[in-house]
Structure 1
Amino acid sequence: MDVSPGSVDQAMKPVLFEVFGEIWNVQARLGQGASASVYRVSSGRSSSAAVKEFQADTQGGDYGFHKERSVLEDIQGHKNIVTLYGVFTNHNAMGVSTRCLLLELLDVSVSELLVRASNQGHSMWLIQHCARDILEGLAFLHREGYVHADLKPRNVLWSADDECFKLIDFGLSFKEGHQDVKYIQTDGYRAPEAELQNSLAQAGLEADSGCSSAVDLWSLGIILLEMYSGTKLKETVRSQEWKDNCAAVVDQIFSSNNMVYPAIPVYHLRDLIKSMLHSDPKLRGTAETALISPFFSIPFAPHIEDLVLLPTPVLRLLNVIDDRHLHNEEEYEDIIEDMKEECQKYGSVLSLLIPKENPGKGQVFVEYANAGDSKEALRLLSGRTFDGKFVVATFYPLSAYKRGYLYQTVQ
């Protein structure tokens, strides 16, 4: 199901769902596709989730619901796969029953990150983080015998609380060797063998064999190329030049990108992407072999823009504390208490740190109980004044904060 955000008739949006005897209020429609809509919901306990509601099937099939449910139930337990909390039937006021999935609520998609890139490309830290997470998710999926078959930026979402990217939307997924869907993948991310299979199916002809997990590697290669270039490549991959020699086009994109990147990581990323874009699926390797690429052995620090784009439970406040405050113990303790009092207005604060020495000297790190609280705090604190200074707020990786590792972020 292609869930696409956009304006839809709000009158058609459900007001609530009753899930296992508990009322979940609908806060927003997150996306709508041909067969289902996705909503952000919250319960009386202030917990949040997503509901994927499948359209009532007048033919009595409910195929999409049963398909995605069965795949998700079979592949639960991996950190890079969206969590399925449960399934239920919703009975609306018109007497229509619909089948629903109650899912983990995720955050920003790679598609949204690409829009925010402004044609400049993302940092090596973000590309590496995303590539590793997707590959680990695919490696697990492929070990379980499944092909995702619709990998694209919109189907890769950031988990603010787990601090990783996760795969969603398994409506076209199938067991390798038992393909039950003829038309797979989305235009722009479709592997050559899937293009051929779709063309044969449209002509009423049967393909010799089904597609394999290699189609997912092809899609990932396009996604990473888009993240590096900062541009959508739909028209590029439709071009004859791409079909004749896509490796040469990849080389052109890398040589023409005017971003200043260290040369060696760029070569490793380019070679990793090219290894995923062989026209022969047998030459693409696997997700597991891709994970041992030299590209993943290079440590990167995030750009400050990365820490604004990817929510976490930890907030970092800049331009707040002067050096003179750090070395006066009484003033320092007063500032700690003032900052705690202010930050607790927006959510439950678990810890607060103001380092006295570099790295992180004078920065304020606030750990909230969840990412929802830190997002609200960032929204309300950014641009505020504290002791006459304008506050600059970003998120900060929870794992790094817990280890006491304070990045010297690239500005």
Structure 2
Amino acid sequence: MSGCVWGAAPLLEALGRLWEVQAPLGSGSSASVYRVRCCGDPRAPPGAVKEFVPPPPRPGPARRPGARPPAADCAEYGFRKERAALEQLRGHRNIVTLYGVFTNHYSANGPSRCLLLELLDISVSELLLHSSNQGCSMWMIQHCARDVLEALAFLHHKGYVHADLKPRNILWSAEEECFKLIDFGLSFKEGNQDVKYIQTDGYRAPEAELQNCLAQAGLQSETECTSAVDLWSLGIVLLEMFSGMKLKHTVQSQEWKTNSSAIIDRIFASEGVVNSAIPAYHLRDLIKSMLHCDQGKRASAEKALCSPFFSIPFAPHIEDLVMLPTPVLRLLNVLSDASLQCEEEYEDILEDIREECQKYGPVVSLLIPKENPGKGQVFVEYANAGDSKAAQKMLTGKIFDGKFVVATFYPLSAYKRGYLYQNLL
């Protein structure tokens, strides 16, 4: 832990339980996030603590009337603001869950306010890094777009604007098998915007950009930022997922301001983009509907969910199943056709695989199809994604019956329905 935030021992007491601080997950200007696990209960799922840390006090003259409040007050305000938003938005599957709040009395700079949150997995930002400029699969883009739009439709209905939607703030939930929105530090109730500088460079809507410029000049903007700013940000995120490119400099260029539609067309027509197929043009039109410079013409989250893009069935690529954890593990290159045909050998191998897989957690079910689709593949369902992730890490590359094992995850929802994807390339 940097600076021994939690004292000499990396432990903290929250909600009547003792938690071990395992690793830092990230930090911002006013808060840091840590991975934690409940002590004394190894089966309890890990969590995340977001600590709003006041900086050390600086000696100096008394604050002038009208001056900015001290950083300690900003940390307290940020905590109260995010807590209020998460409490009012609690219960939606595509919004990070707030478990509770507490005060850490052992912080280096005095008591600090903390949020105890569900721990999520890989972010869209990390997925983009792994895409190697090739772009994400249509399955992943569709999955992310639908999940985030569902979250936005809900929070906009509640009167909230997220105001900082970007790849780092969209994370995968391995347990619920969906993407979730995090970080409501800049969020506000529509019509009651309490901060001038919203959104992040590269994902900032034109009206927010104008507002920021005017605020820097000490002027008031006549245009109010609405929930439409979130749709703009999501449009940029989806365009980056499709192209595999960071578009910050593109969206800040004069060419974009003059004719963004032509640039979007060029990206979708590019030979370097793997996904240039007919269904991609439904995605192109969806993205264009989010990126109107006139916020009044921008699609709402509810309207965007009606796009024909969401009616197209896509299958995940094998890279998707390696990157996105679920409670189900899929083992490849384990069984030969001969093993499947000999019942006695099949049963022995089945027992060996079950015994090996149970080293990483209780196995809920195990399936080895003898016919296509899925012939010879091994599907192992664990009680939780944590066990599945541990097994995937240890079993990948292991030699079984003279063959190197390939271990990926598999959608729990598809597995439960008995649906085995035939094409995962």
Q: TM-score range by the shorter chain?
A: over 0.9
Q: Which amino acid aligns with 1:54?
A: F
Q: Which letter does structure 2 place at the counterpart of 1:205?
A: L
Paired residues of 1:178 and 1:210 also in contact (CA < 8 A): no
Q: How many angstroms apart in 2 are the aligned matches of 1:262 and 1:404?
A: 31
8 Å contact from structure 1 (residues 56, 99) kept in 2 = no
CA shift digits 1:48-67 (9 cap, x unpaired) = 00000001276452100000
Render the CA deviation track for 1:301-342: whole Å, top value 9, x for unaligned: 110001001000100000000111112222111111110100
- Alignment correspondent of 1:160: 174
Q: 1:127 aligns with which of 138, 141, 146?
A: 141
Distance in 2 (alpha carbons) for counterparts of 1:291 and 1:29: 36
Partner of 2:342 in structure 1?
328
1:34 is aligned to 2:29: yes
Describe the SS at the equivalent of 1:344.
helix
> Aligned with 1:410: secondary structure?
coil
Change (3 A) 1:301 1:42: same
The reply to whether residue 235 of structure 1 matches residue 258 of structure 2 is no
Is 1:144 the counterpart of 2:139? The answer is no
The Cα shift of 1:257 comes to 4.3
CA distance in structure 1 between the partners assigned to 2:93 and 2:19 by the alignment: 25
1:219 aligns with 2:233: yes
Alignment gaps of 5+ in structure 2:
58-69
Query: What is the aligned partner in structure 1 of residue 301 from structure 2?
Result: 287
Counterpart-to-counterpart distance in 1, 2:109 and 2:248:
42
Which residue type is aligned with residue 317 of structure 1? Answer: L
Match in the other structure for 1:399: 413
State how far apart, in whole Å, the 2-side matches of 1:171 and 1:262 are.
37
C-alpha distance in 1 between matches for 2:415 and 2:200: 38
Alpha-carbon deviation of 1:385? 0.4
> What corresponds to 1:345 in structure 2?
359
Contact 1:229–1:257 (8 Å) recurs in 2: no
What is the deviation of 1:181?
Answer: 1.2
Contact 2:269 2:276 in 1 (8 A): no
CA distance in 2, matches of 1:278, 1:149: 17
**Alpha carbons of structure 1 residues 309 and 95: separation in structure 2 relative to 1, 3 Å:** closer
How has the CA–CA distance of structure 1 residues 242 and 393 changed in structure 2, closer, same or farther, with 3 Å as cutoff?
same
% of aligned pairs identical? Answer: 71
Aligned pair partner of 1:118 in 102, 125, 132:
132
Match of 1:51 in 2: 49
Task: Name the CA distance, whole Å, in 1 between partners of 2:238 and 2:145.
Answer: 7
Q: Give the conservation status (yes or no) of the 8 Å contact 2:270–2:276.
A: no
Match in the other structure for 2:376: 362
Can you give the 5+ residue segments of structure 1 that lack an aligned partner in the other structure? 1-8
Partner of 2:95: 81
> What TM-score does the superposition give when structure 2 sets the normalisation length?
0.93
For residues 207-252 of structure 1, the C-alpha deviation after alignment (integer angstroms, 9 at most, x for no partner) is 1142000000000000000000001111111111111111111111
Mapped partners of 2:373, 2:177: distance in 1? 22
Cα 1:298–1:239 shift into 2, 3 Å: same
Whole-Å separation in 2 of the counterparts to 1:191 and 1:257: 29
- The count of residues paired between Structure 1 and Structure 2 equals 403
Question: How far did residue 13 of structure 1 move?
Answer: 4.8
Q: What CA distance in whole angstroms lies between the structure 1 residues aligned with 2:137 and 2:220?
A: 43
Q: Which amino acid aligns with 2:361?
A: G
Describe how 1:178-189 pairs up with structure 2 within 5 A: 178-189=192-203
CA distance, structure 1, for counterparts of residue 414 and residue 278 of structure 2: 25
One-letter identity of the residue aligned with 2:84: S
2: CA distance, partners of 1:361 / 1:31: 42
Q: Residue in 2 aligned with 1:272?
A: 286
Decide whether the 8 Å contact of 1:308 with 1:394 is kept in 2.
Answer: yes
Q: Tell whether the 8 Å contact from 2:325 to 2:389 is kept in structure 1 after alignment.
A: yes
Pairing 1:72–2:70 present: no
> Which of the residues 202, 205, 209 maps onto 1:191?
205
CA RMSD of aligned residues (A): 1.3
**Whole-angstrom CA distance in 2 between matches of 1:375 and 1:347:** 10
1:208 and 2:203 are equivalent in the alignment: no
Q: Secondary structure of 1:366's match?
A: strand
Partner AA of 2:48 in structure 1: A
Match of residue 4 from structure 1: none
In 1, the alpha carbon distance for the partners of 2:418 and 2:5 equals: 45
* Structure 2 CA distance for aligned equivalents of residues 262 and 245 of structure 1: 21
Q: 1:13 to 1:354 in 2, by over 3 A?
A: farther
Cα distance in 2 for residues equivalent to 1:387 and 1:138: 49
2:165–2:233 Cα contact (<8 Å) kept: yes
Q: TM-score, normalised by structure 1?
A: 0.96
